[in-house]
């Protein structure tokens, strides 16, 4: 026994405590993401403690909230205080709003919530952008301020705003417990990159008895494995080995290479963002919470309107319910409806980032939505696509996909001039004869791109059957599938961690 205890003590002292302690400290070069080994180990320990607290609601809420703040600290450092500021201010505002029946006072309170949340967003995201605009208009000079953009600030401010606006509209009652509200705003699965979870959907789940069924475990692991494959295998590999090279300097590549780079980015951003959403949905399911789906095969869309019903559903529905409808929606005539659509997408572009590229991206989508609504109005069609003609449907899908790809050029490039260079290369310097050489030289990338698009266009019924078959497997098969996915990720991953694209928003 003494020998065993001595061996155990030696093993304990020989653990790399310095390295372990280093993993607990924020590293701007290595933010915590779901696909990292550190997170997987931490989550394994987290879920054990979480299960032990299943009968202790207050302790469980406090534990998850503390872990969520630690998760955000590992993503953005000391800026977790902004999360606490937004949480406390909106909770207090909602409490005050509920207690007063004075309509003018309620308007001032919801305006205060907007000022706090959007004020933080404006400072951290748009100070330098608008500073340069003002300097150009006045003939002055503006030097960029050194402002760190906290990860996911757009997500948690919009999420918190949905709460205060819904309280103002009388759709929900404010929470009496600050802990409950902090739990909702900081819930780590969706904290830094969405989906934007509505208070009306999430809050009723907080105090329900914790119940995680076998189907929830199977479905959650299915989403996690699919998300890991999308993000860590397809998205990261084609990004590092092809897409980043093309977008770094489009002028060095032919139009064909630029076009393939755009196709690659279309797949990369979809796999990156939908992969994160899948993992968030899966992790939440393992904890007994349900999120709405955030992506629904958007490149299957036959119109730009349908695209926005399938892409980043939580954001597009948020913009519709809290911006488009607030502007008047379609209640004030056709001209006003078209203008409201454009304004919504223009501001949606700015939400993504402070640059003229994002302005162009949002404006292009706004104009496309206006044109499609006009077409629907002129033809009297509900969808804008005559579905009785299969070949027309296919052409519409191809056209919508290529329009989305055109817009991705502006979304991905940092400089507007780079976007124009890429377009110039595609339309004036194409060189289709390079296709065979490209496929041979980048066959790993092209094979993954082909696989990614193939999986994307798999019919929904087949995808659902595969998910149901996975859920029915024995529990040990889940473990094997997860281990196999981790091994695949280790084999294909690059040396540097590839943060999720939407971390910057």
Per-position DSSP letters for 397-445, written without gaps between them: HHHHHHHHHHHHHHHH-SSHHHHHHHHHHHHH---GGGHHHHHHHTHHH
Q: Among 264, 233, 235, which residue's Cα sits nearest to residue 247?
A: 264
Q: What is the CA 369 to chain-centroid distance, rounded? A: 22
User: What is the C-alpha separation between 13 and 476, in angstroms, rounded?
Assistant: 33
Half-sphere exposure of 498 (CA within 13 A, CB side): 26
Three-state SS sequence of 320-379: HHHHHCCCCCCCCCHHHHHHHHHHHHHHHHHHHCCCHHHHHHHHHHHHHHHHHHHHHHHH
Tokens of 27: 């590293």
User: What is the C-alpha separation between 158 and 384, in angstroms, rounded?
Assistant: 31
Catalytic annotation present for 444: no
* Secondary structure percentages of the chain, helix, strand, coil, to 5: 75, 0, 25
Q: Is 232 left (phi over 0), alpha (psi -120 to 50) or beta?
A: alpha
Phi and psi angles of residue 368, each rounded to the nearest 5 degrees, phi first? -60, -40
| Residues 6+ away with beta carbon under 8 Å from 2 | none
Residue 188 DSSP code: G
- Angle in degrees, CA 412, 253, 407, rounded to 5: 25
User: What is the C-alpha separation between 168 and 103, in angstroms, rounded?
Assistant: 10
* CA distances for 477 relative to 45, 247, 279, 474, 483, angstroms: 21, 41, 19, 6, 10
Tokens of 504: 């910057």
- Coil, strand or helix: which one is 491? helix
Annotated active-site residue in 98, 312, 352, 456: 352
Are the C-beta atoms of 255 and 427 separated by less than 8 Å? yes
Cα Rg, the chain, nearest whole Å: 24
| Residues 6+ away with beta carbon under 8 Å from 344 | 319, 320, 323, 324, 327, 366
Half-sphere exposure of 503 (CA within 13 A, CB side): 18
Active site residues: 352
């Amino acid at each position: 026994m003494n020998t065993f205890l001595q061996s155990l003590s030696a093993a304990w002292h020989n653990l790399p405590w310095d390295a372990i302690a280093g993993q607990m400290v924020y590293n701007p070069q290595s933010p915590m993401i779901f696909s990292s080994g550190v997170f997987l180990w931490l989550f394994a320990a987290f879920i054990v403690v979480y299960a032990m607290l299943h009968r202790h609601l207050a302790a469980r809420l406090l534990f998850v909230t503390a872990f969520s703040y630690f998760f955000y600290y590992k993503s953005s450092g000391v800026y977790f205080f902004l999360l606490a500021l937004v949480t406390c201010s909106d909770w207090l505002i909602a409490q005050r709003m509920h207690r007063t029946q004075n309509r003018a006072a309620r308007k001032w309170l919801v305006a205060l919530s907007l000022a706090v949340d959007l004020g933080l967003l404006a400072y951290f995201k748009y100070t330098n952008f608008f500073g340069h605009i003002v300097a150009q208009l006045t003939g002055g000079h503006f030097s960029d301020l050194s402002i760190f953009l906290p990860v996911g600030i757009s997500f948690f401010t919009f999420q918190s705003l949905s709460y205060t606006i819904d309280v103002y509209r009388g759709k929900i009652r404010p929470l009496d417990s600050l802990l409950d509200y902090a739990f909702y705003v900081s819930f780590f699965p969706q904290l830094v990159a969405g989906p934007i979870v509505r208070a009306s959907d999430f809050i009723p789940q907080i105090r329900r008895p914790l119940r995680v069924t076998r189907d929830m475990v199977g479905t959650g692991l299915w989403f996690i494995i699919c998300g890991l494959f999308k993000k860590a295998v397809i998205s990261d590999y084609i990004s590092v080995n092809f897409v980043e090279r093309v977008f770094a300097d489009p002028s060095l590549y032919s139009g064909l290479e630029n076009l393939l780079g755009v196709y690659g980015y279309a797949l990369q951003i979809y796999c990156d963002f939908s992969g994160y959403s899948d993992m968030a949905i899966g992790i939440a399911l393992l904890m007994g919470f349900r999120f709405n789906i955030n992506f629904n095969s958007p490149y299957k869309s036959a119109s730009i309107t349908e695209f926005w019903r399938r892409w980043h559903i939580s954001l597009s529905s948020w913009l519709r319910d809290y911006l488009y409808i607030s502007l008047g929606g379609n209640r004030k005539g056709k001209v006003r409806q078209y203008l409201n659509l454009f304004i919504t997408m223009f501001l949606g572009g700015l939400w993504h980032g402070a640059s003229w590229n994002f302005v162009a991206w949002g404006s292009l989508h706004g104009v496309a939505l206006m044109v499609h609504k006009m077409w629907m109005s002129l033809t009297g069609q509900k969808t804008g696509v005559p579905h009785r003609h299969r070949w027309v449907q296919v052409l519409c899908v191809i056209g919508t996909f290529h329009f989305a790809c055109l817009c991705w050029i502006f979304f991905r490039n940092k400089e507007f001039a780079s976007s124009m260079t890429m377009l110039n290369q595609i339309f004036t310097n194409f060189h289709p004869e390079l296709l065979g050489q490209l496929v041979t030289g980048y066959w790993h990338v092209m094979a993954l791109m082909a696989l990614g698009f193939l999986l994307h266009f798999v019919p929904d019924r087949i995808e659902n059957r595969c998910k149901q078959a996975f859920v029915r497997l024995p529990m040990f098969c889940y473990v094997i599938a997860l281990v196999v996915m981790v091994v695949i990720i280790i084999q294909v991953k690059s040396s540097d961690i590839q943060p999720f694209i939407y971390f910057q928003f």
